[in-house]
Structure 1
Amino acid sequence: MHTTSAATDTAVITVRGLHKHFASPDGGVLPVLQDIDLTVREGEIVALLGKSGSGKSTLLRHIAGLLAPSAGTVHYRGRPVNGPNPGTAMLFQSFALMPWLTVQQNVELGLQAQGVEPLARRERALAGIDMVGLDGFENAYPKELSGGMRQRVGFARALVVEPDVLLMDEPFSALDVLTAQTLRNELTELLTRPGSATRTALLVTHSIEEAVQLADRILILGTDPGTIEVELRVDLPRPRNRRTRGFEALTEDAYECLTGERAELPPTLGTHDPLRAAAPLPHADVEQLTGLLEELDSRGGSVDLPSLADALNYAVDDLMPLVEAAETLAYARIRAGELRLTTTGSGFACADILTRKRLFAAAVLANVPLIATMRTLLIASGSGRLREHHVTERLCASSSERASRQQLNTAITWGRYAELFEYDARDRVLLLPREDHAAGHEAGRAAGHAAGDER
């Protein structure tokens, strides 16, 4: 079911003229926030997006009443906030669970602080645990839970006190990509569920895609000191699909506002797109592949697969992805049940570490269209940046999302080993190595000068 924002005109949080500075070690003043004006309305989700040092978390703590402004005011439903804000609850990046308490006891903490009677406290805590899908783990301790389960406990503890506003400080950044995605979807469902006591949220994040996925409005903060520089409205129905054009456009807009440069979409490649047409990459680790080739070389360059599997203590089926990788890179060939090293494969097996990297890069570019195309798109982008979802979108056109994810993981691992590109796992961006990017700029300038001379 598609839903849109349920925001009203009622202001829940109002910040006016907020300044914050701290004393610096030299006795001076370090400004962190300056002239912040912010209104959060009932029923909306607002994201604070900015680089490290922009004061996002500091602003959140002022709204929670944990810090006092150096100047300016914070109001909750028209009342000044001069201490802990009674209408808010905090969700932290580090889960902030008490390791000596069970799941139920952790969830009850906020209720206990509110003076709720033990029986009612227990009932509400159990309902909260059930709400976040942890029924059956009431008596488990945090050390028994995965990271995603621990953050679900954090959700339950925050929501069970029925806050007016949920304040979240990078709540998904400590989780793996798939777990974080699942919890974002579940959190959105909890906040937009009819009858939910908590429908308003303020999210601090460094992830542009996370902000676009969750928020009704995105406020982008500058740095030194932190100021709200841009507001972007997210008028997309929920649930949001990052592969839609509207999602991509907002992501690019936010990126440009945040960095001052446009993150160009990768150019199209006509009707034949190597990202879609390439044969699937085997899921093979480079180090294991290297070991396979070394073993093959030590046996004279040819061995039957059962003997090789036995020598390496592999099942033949488990060995096959490595064999497929060796064939893909033209390092080996299967002939009459034997795996035979090629001249190229022998050269790789006998080379030193740095030479191997160069040889691997050449083999990848010659034999793996997916990686070669990713490298081409990076060079063509102008910015030397390529967002991961631009690649997965095109891969998904010819295979499942799970298979596309595995393909991309292998391509990224191989491309990084070959030093064809770098990868920022936090922002899920592929990057052209600095020296290659600089060379591309020099080539572009040289071409421009040449064109000028011709004119």
Structure 2
Amino acid sequence: MQAGTRKENGRVRSERLIQLKAVGKDYRQPNGQSIKIIENIDLDLFTGEIVALLGPSGSGKSTLMRMIAGLIPVSSGQVLYRNRPLVGLNPGVAIVFQNAALYPWLTVLENVELGLKAKGELPDARRQKALRMIDVIGLDGFENAYPKELSGGMRQRVGFARALSVEPELLCMDEPFSALDVLTAENLRFELLDLWLERRIPTQAILIVTHGIEEAVTLADRIMVLGRNPGRIRADLKVTLPHYRDRKSPEFQALVDQVYKILTQPDLIPEPLSLSPATPEQAEPTVSKKYQSLPGVRIGSIAGLLELLEDRSGEDLYRLAGELSLEVDEILPIVEAAKLLDFVRLTEGDISLTTTGQQFVVSGTDDRKALVRQQLLNHIRTVQQIYQLLRAKQNGRIPEELVLDILEHHFSPQEAQAQLKTVMDWGRYAELYGYDQPAGEIFLEVAEPEPVEEVAL
């Protein structure tokens, strides 16, 4: 074996295929303000490995993948493909999307040929390549079928065949199994792994965007965990377990728990990043202060989580998610909201009720509202700002546009709208303020809650 190479899972990892240097992405708003989506990303992708991008919604996973593919330009930094700056579309990349995105008026064969046709392949050559990949992906006999005649899993196979037929060096997959039922997704996931391990597909590396922690640990040789607001790499975790991996093994469970620990502490910057337990001598993580991004969940969902935890102490979050059949993107927003309101605490991947959370569970409706009201005023900056603005007005009313203007200094217009909706839902539940829809105004609901520490507007 040549110097500088090493073997992992039966493949030689030796060449840097993609390199990202201090890559950032921001979007300029109509008011001239720039909103950062991704910031200062350094990332290397090598041949012979599967890399999973994992992170909460809004962390820029799909944006990062699209910049690697050249579908959207970077705002800062540089993307290199085989040590050369990428200009335009990346010729070595093909993408499989969440939705197969097939043309309904074309047959399976014609859909698979599209990428080859775009590359200028001659009809006979592209037909042979398309037929070969249709056979490899398990669609032999369906060449002349139309998408409407296929199941969801078969349509996604067509998407895989179309991407692989152009023989990409890097196969990018943007949540390719999330739209499928559990059994179909599991079968397709392992069939793809079979093709990869048996080297029956031409691709040299795979990059998969996923919100499933188990999926990432099952497939990947490396897991990149992203944070959000703006998107940044929080951890680069190497997975050394050999394929095929036993999900019930202690080693597998430990990896899943470690990823959960990182994802459930969004305000912490873990240093150093490792899959091994930290030694006592290591410094405590530092806290990155930033404007809060509120998860879009209802108080009722938070209440349901708290009630579930009533008789449990130190419940493992990964096992709780499995018990509820929830993916990470489904349970983490609820957990994050409960943590923001100081109803739960997270310790090494375990979740338990705080004293306030325990008080909430045993309280009646009115007392629950009072508790939420006090927690909002104590912990949620946007609520504090709205409340201060309302108190400062003689009539106790402010236009919602004023709050949106404040939020748009920290979020994109779309996200600012989502943040306003969440903060209104929470505040109205707590009977802290109300909303006059015809006038587009927020109005003070209660006269004098407990005093709240003032914050800068």
Q: Distance in 2 between matches of 1:388 and 1:135?
A: 38
Q: 1:187 to 1:442 in 2, by over 3 A?
A: same
1:441 paired to 2:354 = yes
Which residue of 2 is the match for residue 386 of structure 1?
A: 319
Q: 1:109 to 1:7 in 2, by over 3 A?
A: same
Query: What SS does structure 2 have at the residue aligned with 1:386?
Result: helix
Q: 1:76 to 1:229 in 2, by over 3 A?
A: same
Which residue of 1 is the match for residue 181 of structure 2?
A: 176
Q: Distance in 2 between matches of 1:102 and 1:83?
A: 30
Asked if the contact 1:49–1:211 (Cα under 8 Å) also holds between the matched residues in 2, the reply is yes
Asked if the contact 1:18–1:73 (Cα under 8 Å) also holds between the matched residues in 2, the reply is yes
Deviation by residue 1:316-368 (Cα, 9 ceiling, x = unmatched)? xxxxxxxxxxxxxxxxxxxxxxxxxxxxxxxxxxxxxxxxxxxxxxxxxxxxx
Asked if the contact 1:5–1:216 (Cα under 8 Å) also holds between the matched residues in 2, the reply is no
Q: Distance in 2 between matches of 1:105 and 1:376?
A: 53
Q: 1:7 to 1:24 in 2, by over 3 A?
A: farther
Which has the larger helix fraction? 1
Query: What SS does structure 2 have at the residue aligned with 1:37?
Result: strand
Which residue of 1 is the match for residue 303 of structure 2?
A: none
Counterpart pick for 1:228 among 233, 241, 245? 233
Which residue of 2 is the match for residue 207 of structure 1?
A: 212
Asked if the contact 1:378–1:384 (Cα under 8 Å) also holds between the matched residues in 2, the reply is no
Counterpart pick for 1:45 among 42, 47, 50? 50
Counterpart pick for 2:142 among 137, 142, 147? 137
Q: Distance in 2 between matches of 1:80 and 1:17?
A: 13
Asked if the contact 1:387–1:429 (Cα under 8 Å) also holds between the matched residues in 2, the reply is no
Q: Distance in 2 between matches of 1:95 and 1:201?
A: 18
Give how far 1:80 is off.
1.3
Give how far 1:197 is off.
1.6
| Letter of the structure 1 residue corresponding to residue 139 of structure 2 | L
Counterpart pick for 1:115 among 99, 117, 120? 120
Give how far 1:239 is off.
1.3
Which residue of 1 is the match for residue 430 of structure 2?
A: none
- Identity among equivalent positions (%) equals 50
Q: Distance in 2 between matches of 1:35 and 1:443?
A: 38
Query: What SS does structure 1 have at the residue aligned with 2:13?
Result: coil
Which residue of 1 is the match for residue 199 of structure 2?
A: 194
Asked if the contact 2:25–2:75 (Cα under 8 Å) also holds between the matched residues in 1, the reply is yes
Give how far 1:428 is off.
8.0
Q: Distance in 1 between matches of 2:78 and 2:182?
A: 37
Query: What SS does structure 1 have at the residue aligned with 2:237?
Result: strand
Q: 1:428 to 1:60 in 2, by over 3 A?
A: closer
| Letter of the structure 1 residue corresponding to residue 44 of structure 2 | T
| Letter of the structure 1 residue corresponding to residue 355 of structure 2 | E
| Letter of the structure 1 residue corresponding to residue 84 of structure 2 | R
Give how far 1:95 is off.
0.8
| Letter of the structure 2 residue corresponding to residue 152 of structure 1 | R
| Letter of the structure 1 residue corresponding to residue 250 of structure 2 | R
1:78 paired to 2:11 = no
Q: 1:29 to 1:122 in 2, by over 3 A?
A: same
Give how far 1:386 is off.
3.4
1:246 paired to 2:251 = yes
Give how far 1:101 is off.
0.6
Asked if the contact 1:378–1:386 (Cα under 8 Å) also holds between the matched residues in 2, the reply is no
Unaligned runs of 5+ in 1: 263-373, 392-421, 447-455
Q: Which runs of 4+ in 1 moved over 6 A?
A: 374-378, 428-435, 443-446
Q: Distance in 1 between matches of 2:9 and 2:77?
A: 33
1:10 paired to 2:15 = yes
Q: Distance in 1 between matches of 2:66 and 2:192?
A: 21
Q: Distance in 2 between matches of 1:385 and 1:202?
A: 24
Asked if the contact 1:423–1:429 (Cα under 8 Å) also holds between the matched residues in 2, the reply is no
Give how far 1:7 is off.
4.5
- TM-score of the pair, normalised by structure 1: 0.61
Deviation by residue 1:342-398 (Cα, 9 ceiling, x = unmatched)? xxxxxxxxxxxxxxxxxxxxxxxxxxxxxxxx9689723447773455x6xxxxxxx
Asked if the contact 2:321–2:328 (Cα under 8 Å) also holds between the matched residues in 1, the reply is no
1:33 paired to 2:38 = yes
Give how far 1:136 is off.
1.0
Give how far 1:231 is off.
1.0
Give how far 1:240 is off.
1.6
Q: Distance in 1 between matches of 2:207 and 2:79?
A: 14
Deviation by residue 1:387-435 (Cα, 9 ceiling, x = unmatched)? 455x6xxxxxxxxxxxxxxxxxxxxxxxxxxxxxx65367686999989
| Letter of the structure 2 residue corresponding to residue 442 of structure 1 | T
Q: Distance in 2 between matches of 1:191 and 1:172?
A: 16
Q: 1:379 to 1:5 in 2, by over 3 A?
A: farther
| Letter of the structure 2 residue corresponding to residue 43 of structure 1 | G
Deviation by residue 1:127-181 (Cα, 9 ceiling, x = unmatched)? 1111111111111111111111111001100111110000111111111111111
Asked if the contact 1:89–1:159 (Cα under 8 Å) also holds between the matched residues in 2, the reply is yes
| Letter of the structure 1 residue corresponding to residue 312 of structure 2 | I
Asked if the contact 1:88–1:163 (Cα under 8 Å) also holds between the matched residues in 2, the reply is yes
Q: 1:241 to 1:382 in 2, by over 3 A?
A: closer
Q: Distance in 1 between matches of 2:190 and 2:203?
A: 16
Query: What SS does structure 2 have at the residue aligned with 1:424?
Result: coil
Query: What SS does structure 1 have at the residue aligned with 2:312?
Result: helix
Query: What SS does structure 2 have at the residue aligned with 1:212?
Result: helix
Q: Distance in 2 between matches of 1:162 and 1:39?
A: 21
Deviation by residue 1:200-249 (Cα, 9 ceiling, x = unmatched)? 01111111111111110001111111111111111111112211111111
1:424 paired to 2:326 = yes
State how many pairs are aligned. Answer: 301
- TM-score of the pair, normalised by structure 2: 0.61
| Letter of the structure 2 residue corresponding to residue 97 of structure 1 | L
1:128 paired to 2:133 = yes
- After superposition, the CA RMSD in angstroms is 3.0
Q: What does 1:53-452 correspond to in 2, within 5 Å? A: 53-194=58-199, 196-260=201-265, 379-382=312-315, 386-387=319-320, 389=322, 424=326, 440-442=353-355
